[in-house]
Structure 1
């Protein structure tokens, strides 16, 4: 910085000092004339004062609270040309909709005189538009299997008293079915055949038993609902045993979509089973008996057991081991997705022989055991499990490289075993969910809402290991605020939940198994 000398002007361009001259003798445009020197000094003083004033005001200005509102704030941002109408961290409309979810009642599957219990598996479905009733089937602690209507009043609350006045003579209380043996493991519904499918443990040899029944259906002329929740004596299930399933447990049951030759597929501790033509068989070739005995020893102690050891040259493939979750790839009824305890995500093409499946081409690694696998589009797969690991993958971008480190969280610093076991086929997540919290549980609830209009990609409802539930955007992985859902405090970990649109509703509702009850959360402005 040039030194200021009284009576002289420093020209920064010429880097010289000039004597300040009277304006009468100096040239008109001369920078060293007294008038020009005085004018510049006043302008610099004004600029300095303006800058100081702006700095003071910047500390006083705060964004209007309305800008934080997901709907109105997003609309204001769009009018101002900020972000194209999308609020920071997620989609405007889905954030507003999630914020408007409210608790809308519950139904209890277990008698009032029995305390405790948790809904371990459930299925929610629409009954018919004629009566406006929904239906729920659920299993409590693997022991109590019950079905119930979901009656609602004018405020969209579950209200059995209101429905009793509108539907006199209809049996609304939950029906409990004693025809199913204890140790019920999974339940789901196959729409094309209208079969309610239940997987349970059969005695005396502890084989897996696949049971199914068709819920009652009244004629169109009846005044009651088209879908009838039958009394205990009216249910006549068909039971069949999965051969070679001694001491096998079922983790997941997924009905096949329209166009598939199968009725259902099952993820078990010994691979994948299938139900076809009312007979359950093994879809994957069974592992050698000595490996199965070793697996029983390694996983003894519950479903929280760690990864299985896997030798690079082993002939035992991931889909022959402990399959925790299973799904069908969207728009591909012949491609099955399987998530394993050993951290593998498997894409299995049913059009070719299972003997021709190769891990190097159809398997990639997740950051933990894959407790949940969900198809959320023709190319996107969501995998979630322990170690706070939930990620979205694009199966078109499978790469021959090691996966990156997990996106943070305690205990998430190891790479996926699928890359470490010599197979090398891994995928890099396109979206991670840093606020997902599940350190150790594989028996925990999760469901994905993929209906159009609810976010660019969809919305995930995921249970946490502290008995809470969170909503997440599939677009960027951010957690979406929802006071009602964020306020859930279940008696224990939530093991089952489901998005479903009931008859007469314009929006889907979230059904959450909180203890022995199924609670409903719906949008209500």
Structure 2
């Protein structure tokens, strides 16, 4: 193979031959083998080599600032450059959630060998940094406990309960009531009632109701809600009866009705939807109650999720197994309600806006649907096509758990979802992206799926705290810092 490094000669690639380098006076015009052309090419080649060398050096000198990768500071920089990120405030809040301690519901000597089955944390109504929690470890006993917070560092701990109660025995969790096969615990704010649903099969759907006592005197230093012996109150069992021929009625979920709705709460059962009025009478809402259920027994069996539209308190959303999302106005007859067909069994329904709703279910289904762009059908026919979601949240993991934790904070746009491997992940309700959170991402239960996840603010906070039922402990994750001395 010919080369072009022979002194005094020039190798022409096109003509595939050597030319003797000539001076400018004897060589033809614009000849490639003239001495001037050869010198010019040598200078250009040397400049190209030097430019490439400097480029390779500068690659290692230019490093992206770590501050740009942070949600808060990096988001401000991006905004100044004209790049708007819809998840910037959401990501900043998620990253700032810090583990702030826990309240144990069982002593170390006989700690539970499973995660908390059902949990309710209420911060509304209290006059200080304290919440009240109701939970069950074995689905047969409701325990109550205070969840106090240190005003200095924002941490929760059981020893702080002594600052709020008068008797030492009130420091430990209090046994409120025994209910067979507890399936859900909720709080009705407008009626001030704790609602405990039961999954025990019988001839009717059963819900236990009780009202915690409250201190009336503003000068009383005790918590506004009283638990323990001072908070003992009457318990009432409200039942919705079905067909006496069958004894397989039970409640899966209970949902308190908001202000503006005529009912106190609604119950999702094994055979349809029921409502309870302010007079404590429970009746069937859906057409799948007594006398109607068995006509569609293979296509409608259980309701696992019930919630109300935030802007329309009379509109209820519910669904379960099989995967049908029902929407109806409680002032209308049930046969006028509409439904959407989904691909999998529904476990949670969380309305986000007037039109958008977050739905989770089996086979790792976590989607957001826009009801304005989805064809809805009257409930007289079950042959409906599957609805297409606005977007699907990738990364959510729940293959087959019905009782698994999930909650949404609408203000920040965050959904906290438990995975069936014992982890908890935060996602954006606006885009479906996974949000990084140092302490929340560290959650890993040894007993697999976590059943209880709830956003609830302390009465003095503008942002909510994430409460997670890890083993027999109620863990708190609040926006803040690890050490109060780190605050500027």
TM-score normalised to structure 1 length: 0.77
Match of 2:395 in 1: 435
Structure 1 spans left out of the alignment, 5+ residues: 11-19, 296-308, 311-317, 402-417
In structure 2, how many angstroms separate the alpha carbons of the residues matched to 1:215 and 1:119?
A: 22
1:461 corresponds to which residue? Answer: 416
CA distance in 1, matches of 2:376, 2:45: 62
Distance 1:176 1:50, change over 3 A: same
* 2:485 equivalent in structure 1: none
Distance 1:112 1:388 in 2: 34
Separation in 1, partners of 2:208, 2:160: 34
- Whole-Å separation in 1 of the counterparts to 2:262 and 2:312: 12
1:400 and 1:350 map into 2 onto residues whose CA distance is: 17
Structure 1 residue aligned with 2:260:
259
1:69 Cα deviation after fit: 2.4
Q: Distance in 2 between matches of 1:474 and 1:290?
A: 37
Match status 1:390 vs 2:391: no
2:484 alignment partner in structure 1: none
Residue of 225, 229, 239 corresponding to 2:223 = 225
Contact 2:253 2:304 in 1 (8 A): yes
Give the secondary-structure state (helix, strand or coil) at the position aligned to 1:119: coil
Describe how 1:117-136 pairs up with structure 2 within 5 A: 117-126=114-123, 128=125, 130-136=127-133
Contact 2:87/2:431 (8 A) holds in 1: no
Partner in structure 2 of residue 95 of structure 1: 91
Question: How many residues get paired?
Answer: 457
Which TM-score applies when normalising by structure 2?
Answer: 0.82
The 2-side partners of 1:280 and 1:376 are apart by 28
TM-superposed CA distance for 1:47, in Å, is 4.7
Cross-structure match for 1:374: 350
Q: Hey, what's the Cα distance between the residues in 1 that align with 2:324 and 2:134?
A: 31
Report the 3-state secondary structure (helix = DSSP H, G, I; strand = E; otherwise coil) of the residue aligned with 2:343.
Answer: coil
Q: CA deviation at 1:379?
A: 1.0
Report whether the alignment pairs 1:238 with 2:236.
yes
Kindly indicate whether the alpha-carbon contact (under 8 Å) linking 2:99 and 2:439 is maintained by their aligned counterparts in 1.
yes
Say if 1:350 and 1:506 are closer, same or farther in 2 by CA, change over 3 A.
closer
Instruction: Give the Cα separation in 2 of the matches to 1:273 and 1:400.
Output: 22
Q: Does residue 472 of structure 2 align to residue 512 of structure 1?
A: no
Q: Give the whole-Å Cα distance in 1 for the aligned partners of 2:11 and 2:140.
A: 100
Distance 1:124 1:422 in 2: 40
- The equivalent of 1:486 in structure 2 is 441
C-alpha distance in structure 1 between counterparts of 2:405 and 2:270, whole Å: 19
The CA distance in 1 between the partners of 2:135 and 2:305, in whole Å, is 18
Cα shift at 1:274:
0.9
Q: Deviations over 1:128-161 (max 9, x none)?
A: 4533321111122311201111111122121232
Matched, 1:272 2:259: no
Larger deviation, residues 44-53 vs 111-120: 44-53
1:83 aligns to 2:83 (yes or no) = yes
Q: Cα offset for 1:394?
A: 0.9
SS of the residue aligned with 1:242? strand
Partner of 1:350: 330
Check conservation: 1:127, 1:226, Cα contact below 8 A: no
Does the 8 Å contact 1:216/1:230 carry over to 2?
A: no
Deviations 1:346-395 (A, max 9, x none): 112223211233xxxx2223332111111011111001111111111111
Q: CA deviation at 1:195?
A: 1.4
- Partners in 2 of 1:173 and 1:519 — Cα distance? 16
Instruction: Return the alpha-carbon distance in structure 1 between the equivalents of residues 340 and 375 of structure 2.
Output: 9
Q: In the alignment, is the contact (CA less than 8 A) between 2:128 and 2:460 conserved in 1?
A: no
Greater share of strand residues, 1 or 2? 2
Q: Secondary structure at the match of 1:371?
A: strand
Q: Unmatched 5+ residue regions in structure 2?
A: 15-21, 482-488
- Distance (whole Å) between structure 1 residues aligned to residue 68 and residue 458 of structure 2: 33
Inter-CA distance 327–21: structure 2 relative to 1 (3 Å threshold): farther
Counterpart Cα distance in 2 of 1:209 and 1:252:
11
